[in-house]
Amino acid sequence: MNNVVYEYFPEWFLIAETASLLILLAIFLLSLMVYIVEIQILYNSRNTTFKGPFYRLMFIGILVDVISAINLFILQIVPARGWFPSFYFSNQSWIGAIFYAITYGGRCVQGSTAAILSFCRVTAVCFPMFYQKLSQANYTFTMQALQLSGAVASIFLLLPREYKYENENGGYYSAFRNNEFRKPFYNFVAALEICFVLSIVVNNVVTYASYHFKMKKRVLSKRNSVSGSQYVANRDKRRRETSLDKMTVIVCCVELIYFAFVVYSLQINQSMNKRVFYFLYNILCVVYSTFSAWMLLFFSRPIAVQFKQRILKLSAKRSTRSFSISVQGSRDNNK
């Protein structure tokens, strides 16, 4: 099925397209700086504060987020704008293979990360004894293997294909040379999105309902017999759960929006104009690849505390260096 080609685009669309690319680039660069600090924090404390399955999975997830965003800008947006045509067109097959493998492989990792994390939430609330086992090495490695399995499958499935750049409405976009492979592949992607969304939504709904039911029951049974220390512990636990609930809502909303876009563009309207498709896809990809940076920073207290400490430490070093330079300059002037 061929994509719809328009004779011209309205002026507002061209302005919105250019403005969105500049805004998305700024968002990515700012989020990248946050990601770099968070990656350092997670790696340096991987055997202490952040040794649990949540942070182990998030560490891989944010690495894939960064790679996916870089892939979008370098292998999709740059050639689409017609920049460096001699390089991209002379290597269009293997560049297309890398672009598609990272795009869909990264999406598999992102979806599986959210799904596995939602599974961990269910076990933590409904099966706490089993959840304690998830921190063991064999369980963690199994979850990480499942997390990366989609990326491995995408590499084997997409790298051997042939690709080409097509010019549509003034933009150059990578596409499959073999259209017979396109439809079954997009059907598979849509089915995978359904699995991700169903598992994430169902797991989070069960987690939310179970936790609040248990808390309500516990409050009614121990309203008059809770000690001061127990009250503080319960309050801290409620705060953590409130933060997790907020993170859950954000993840579910992003997943549902991404799901709706994939189903509409790859199933309902497979002939969508490519320039319009990538205008929307660029926004979704950058948002999906960067929101984890801010979600961890705002809703994970251990990350926020260490992040603040690193920023203050860096500021102190710069202040000390500036003071040393100024003192040395004063001494030189007095000689």
* Position 143 in a domain: yes
**DSSP character at residue 4:** P
* Position 228 in a domain: no
Per-residue pLDDT at 33: 94
Q: Does an H or E element contain 171, and which?
A: strand 171-176
Alpha-helical runs (H) found in 274-300:
274-299
* Position 21 in a domain: yes
Burial group, residue 94, by CB count within 10 angstroms (0-12, 13-18, 19+): exposed
* Position 231 in a domain: no
* Mean pLDDT on 17-40: 94
* Position 246 in a domain: yes
* Position 329 in a domain: no
Per-residue pLDDT at 330: 57
Instruction: With a cut of 70, say whether residue 154 has pLDDT above it.
Output: yes
* Position 305 in a domain: yes
pLDDT (tens digit per residue) in 65-117 = 999 999 999 999 999 988 888 888 888 889 999 999 999 999 999 999 989 98
User: Where in the sequence is the domain holding 97, given as residue range(s)?
Assistant: 11-219+236-317
Query: Whole-angstrom Cα distance, residue 133 to residue 128?
Result: 9
* Position 24 in a domain: yes
Instruction: Identify the CA nearest to 251 among candidates 285, 286, 281, 288.
Output: 288
Instruction: With a cut of 80, say whether residue 224 has pLDDT above it.
Output: no
* Mean pLDDT on 285-299: 90
pLDDT (tens digit per residue) in 126-143 = 888 888 888 788 888 999
* Bridge pairing between strands 171-176 and 163-168: antiparallel
The domain spanning residue 287 has which CATH number?
1.20.1070.10
The reported pTM is 0.83
Measure the CA angle with vertex 105, ends 99 and 106; round to 5°. 90
Query: Whole-angstrom Cα distance, residue 289 to residue 69?
Result: 6
Q: Does an H or E element contain 172, and which?
A: strand 171-176
Query: Whole-angstrom Cα distance, residue 264 to residue 275?
Result: 15
User: What is the CB neighbour count within 10 angstroms for residue 27?
Assistant: 19
**Count of the separate structural domains present in the chain:** 1
pLDDT tier at 30 (50, 70, 90 boundaries)?
Answer: very high
